[in-house]
Structures are given as C-alpha cells and as structure tokens.
Amino acid sequence: MFEKDITRTLAKKLGKTYKEVEGFLEQPQDSSFGDISFPCFVVAKEQKRSPSELAAQLKKSIALPKGIENIESSGPYLNFFIDYSSLAETIFQETRRKKSKFGHTNKGKGEVVVIEFSSPNIGKPFGIAHLRSTVIGNSLSNIYASQGYKVERVNYLGDWGTQFGNLMCAFQMWGDEKELKKNSIRHLLSLYIKFHAEAEKDEALKKKGKEWFVRLEGGDKKAKGMWKKFCGLNLKEFKRIYHLLNIKIDHTIGEAFYEPMLKKTIEFYRNKGLLKESDGALILEYPDLPPAIVQKKDGTTIYLTRDLAAAKHRRDIFKFKKMLYVADARQTLHFQQLFKALEIAGFKWARQCEHVPFGVMKFKGEPLATRKGFIFLEDVLLKAVSKVESIIDEKNPSLGHKEEVARQVAFGAVIYWDLNSDRVRDVVFDLDQVLNFEGDTAPYIQYTSARLSSILAKASPPRRVDSFLLNSQEEKKIIGSLAKFESVIWDAKMHNKPHLLTNYLSALAQECNNFYNKHPVLVNEKDLRAARLHLIFAARQVLINGLSLLGIHSPFQM
C-alpha cells in the first residue's frame, strides 16, 4: 500500500517515472531509522548534488504520502515512518468487509487470459512429474482470477502422435484385455515401457509403431477403436486425480480435436510462401531459429502443426489478452518456433502468447522419464495422507474430521513443496523431503492459521477497535506484512511466479508465531484484547486467502 504512494510522490517530485524510482526503496535494518528508506546517492549524482543535501531538501518539500506519519532525513537517506494505527484500521475494515476476497482486485476486468497447463499424455498415468505443470498452472489461474481476469483453464491432452502408434503396436503384441479392464492405466504403462525397451534392441519395432500411427491418421477403424478406448480409460483416471487435488479445468481438449484443421493449417502456411520441402517433408524456416517440421515425409503431422491450429482456434474462440503455456523448460525451443511461426504468418496477437517454463523434476539426479520408470502421483499423495494420520493419532487423537484434515494437510504439503521454489529451478524428487512437515511448509502455515482460529473461537473481535494500542515491533511487522498482500499477489501475477506468494505466507506465519509467543491475545484489558483480536482475524484471513490461491485448504483445527 504505502510503497506505491511513496514511489509516486518521489517520482513526481524528482521528475522521474514510477519505474525509475520503484527499485530504490529499501527497508532499514534499524527501525529507529524508519520503515522505508530512499537512498539519494544515484539521483544526487545525476543532479550533481550531495546525497545529504538532496535528502534534506526532499524532507522539506514533499507532502506526507498516504499511510506515512513522518519523514526524516538522515545523511544521504530519506526515511519514511509508517502510520501503523491508521494502516491497521484500514486493513481491519477491509478484511471484515471482503473476507475471502481480501487481496483481490478488478485490475484485469474485461480481459481474458487463457492458461494451458497440466496436459498429461493419454496412455500414461498421472505421475509425480505431472505435478509441476498442474499445480503451477492451477495457482496462476487462481492468481489471475483474483485480479479480475476471466481465466480460461485449458487442459491440452497429448492424445495424438507417434507414441499412440507405439502403444497400439505394443497392445497388439503383448496386451491383455482382462488386465486392461482390471488395471487399465498401469497395464498401458507397462506396455509403453516394454515397447521402448524392446525397440532399443529392434529397429523394426519402431517402424511398426510408426505404421500404426499412419493408420490412425488415415482413419483406420481398428486403430481408431483402440485410440478411443485408451482415451476413455485415461480421461476417467485424470478426472479422479484432479478431483482429489481440487483442480478446476474449464476445457479438456486433446490434440486430436485439431486433426481435422491440420490440412487447412498447412495450406495456409504454404499459400503464405512460408513452407519449404526438404527430403519429402514440409518445413518452416526461420531467420534466427532452427527449421521446424510441419509435415513429415510420410504425411503425418507433429506437435507444432497441432499447436499452430490450436493457437488460432483459441484466439478465434476466446479473444484472449494473453495466453500462457505452462510447460517444461526443455520445450523452450518448441515455443519459440511456435510463436515465431504465428508472428511471421501475420498474427499480431502472437506477442500475447507466452511460455511459462519450469525446471525439470529429477529423481536421484536424473530427469524422470516414463519409459525408464514411474512414480505415481497418487502413491505419493496416499503416503502423505498416511503420515499425517499417524501424526494426528499421536498428537491430537480426538480431532474431529480427522480423515478430511489429513487429506488437506497432506495434499497441501505436496503442492507447497512443488511451488515453494522459483519455478525455473530444477527440483529433485525426494519423498522424505516432500513429507517433511517442519519449517517452511504448508502444514506449518496451516497450523498457524488453525491456531489463530482456535483463539478466535473463544472470542470474536468487536466492531470498534483502537488500533493505536498495537505498538510492539511484532504487531507492527504483521500490520506491515498484511498491507503488502495485494501487491505480492500482483507481483506473482506479473512474473508468473507462485513462489513469491509462498515466501510471503511463510514469513507472515513466522511473524504470527513470534507475536503470540510474546503477546497474549485474550488479556484482561478490554481495548488491547479487541485490537489483538482484530489483528489475528486479519492475519488468519490473509493466510487462508493466500493458501487458497495456491490451491491449498486451511483446516480450522489441526
């Protein structure tokens, strides 16, 4: 709240833009020097003045920004002192009024954002490696929606391509109809792994897989029948996992949906003079990127062809302001080629398409690969639930709704573990680390929220409050953090990085623990008790709202 007003005030006085001043503000290590400081070194050098002189001149000439009670100059620094009393009053009013909508804005009202995420492949189960795109995309969808954008959540299934030819070939050779009915997804996975193991020894097997995909693209009845069966079984499984994780999907559309549009797409690029024949295949050539195949020499298409059709179709349907592709960083070149192909074809909206890359999930230092091994996401979730149930049995056996709480805590731990680092970094899957609930984890934040709820269950905050009584450093820290909630959500949106929100929530939870370990809330002094009840009501609401944006529930008891 206050940083923006300070920045605007300084920018106007110095004749600079908001962005030019924004990066200079800092927090003094010693609170006696204020809450926010503006070091004058750079601007003073530009103006050929001493930093101390500039700080003193600014102190005299600028009006107090909103939320600031005093300004002092100290050598080369201009120091701002926050009016915590009025700030707390504003926050308390807003959290009582908005509740679950506190932190939300209408900045994106009227604009559509398409977010493609999760996008698992048919013929394969939902593995731990699918977690990344799924929870990053879901949290970004929630974050954009909280800022007023109309979000279209798209699950773009991998239900077309050469891998289906391989799977059909494998099923014809080693498949078992009884096993498919009994344990469909795991049976298909075993066939997929076996095919690749055998194909490494037998080149003829790879050829047979390609032949089956040619049959599929040609409309062969038997190939189509197997494809539909595999798709139906997988979709049922995926929906069950999304339901478990409370993931909302607006549109489930597979690559096959765009298959009828591919001839028209290829002709469009051919007529634009953008395609070149190379060894029987059709390729797109770029001035600054490697060439990309659009149609193979056997007449089949590839991922890029279908993505070109999908992008055009989504633009026609949604009229989006922005379209995000939440996908593995290893696909960076693919998206560069996709966006450039759209741009050179004359689509101005190509600049509104953005790849949101994330690091690889590794296992023992190696990237997880379906053909070499598999870790089922559901297995991890169930192990997490079992561990939480054991902890509850030990520490709070009389807890009501134990099974529900165990799921909320366990699933929250898994989701938070994935989101709690900058998405561009690789992550190493370690089950012990995932299930470690100590320290910077969702269970720690959930427990803090539940502890605040238990206090509020004993006494509700009255309507009137004297926020001036909240003058300890611990109370001021919480007030300052609560005031930043809206800007943190916006920053997470601007950078497409949910970890900015996880970092914030973890710090706020720590501040809350520091506060109530030093300052009892239910004190005899009526006015102080009321003020502290308002403080923890607001803090609990922000913790709940923040976790909700990440896709994590907040139990009221733990």
Alpha-carbon distance of 547 to 558, in angstroms, equals: 16
Task: Find out whether 115 and 141 touch, Cβ atoms under 8 Å.
Answer: yes
Query: The tokens 């096959």 sit on which residue?
Result: 256
* pLDDT bucket at 464, cuts 50 / 70 / 90: confident
Task: Tell which CATH classification among 3.20.20.150, 3.40.190.10, 3.30.1360.70, 2.30.30.60 matches the domain 2-82.
Answer: 3.30.1360.70
Is the pLDDT reported for residue 504 higher than 50? yes
Task: Give helix then strand counts, H and E, for the chain.
Answer: 22, 14
pLDDT value, residue 437: 78
Is the pLDDT reported for residue 517 higher than 70? yes
Query: 387-416 pLDDT, tens per residue?
Result: 999 999 999 999 989 999 999 999 999 999
Can you tell me the mean pLDDT for 477-499?
Answer: 96
Q: Helix (H, G, I), strand (E, B), or coil: what is residue 36?
A: strand
Beta bridge partners of 367: 362
DSSP state of 120: P
Query: Residue 498 class from Cβ within 10 Å (0-12 exposed, 13-18 middle, 19+ buried)?
Result: buried
Is the pLDDT reported for residue 120 higher than 60? yes
Is the pLDDT reported for residue 98 higher than 90? yes
Mean pLDDT over the full length of the chain: 93
Alpha-carbon distance of 447 to 511, in angstroms, equals: 13
pLDDT value, residue 1: 63
Is the pLDDT reported for residue 121 higher than 90? no
Q: Which class does domain 399-550 fall in?
A: mainly alpha
Is the pLDDT reported for residue 241 higher than 50? yes
Query: 19-47 pLDDT, tens per residue?
Result: 889 889 998 988 889 999 999 999 999 99
Can you tell me the mean pLDDT for 103-127?
Answer: 93
Is the pLDDT reported for residue 366 higher than 60? no
Q: What single string gives the DSSP state of each residue in 251-300?
A: EEEEGGGGGGGHHHHHHHHHHTT-EEEETTEEEE--SSS--EEEE-TTS-
Is the pLDDT reported for residue 369 higher than 60? no
pLDDT value, residue 370: 47
* pLDDT bucket at 145, cuts 50 / 70 / 90: very high
* pLDDT bucket at 367, cuts 50 / 70 / 90: low
pLDDT value, residue 373: 55
pLDDT value, residue 371: 45
Task: Find out whether 276 and 179 touch, Cβ atoms under 8 Å.
Answer: no
- Judge if 2-82 and 117-271+303-367 fold alike in CATH terms: no
Q: What single string gives the DSSP state of each residue in 335-401?
A: HHHHHHHHHHTT-GGGGGEEEEEEPPEEETTEE--TTT---BHHHHHHHHHHHHHHHHHHH-TT-TT
Task: Find out whether 294 and 269 touch, Cβ atoms under 8 Å.
Answer: yes
pLDDT value, residue 147: 98
Q: Answer yes or no: pTM beyond 0.85.
A: yes
CATH number of this structure's domain 117-271+303-367 = 3.40.50.620
Domain residue limits, the chain: 2-82, 117-271+303-367, 399-550
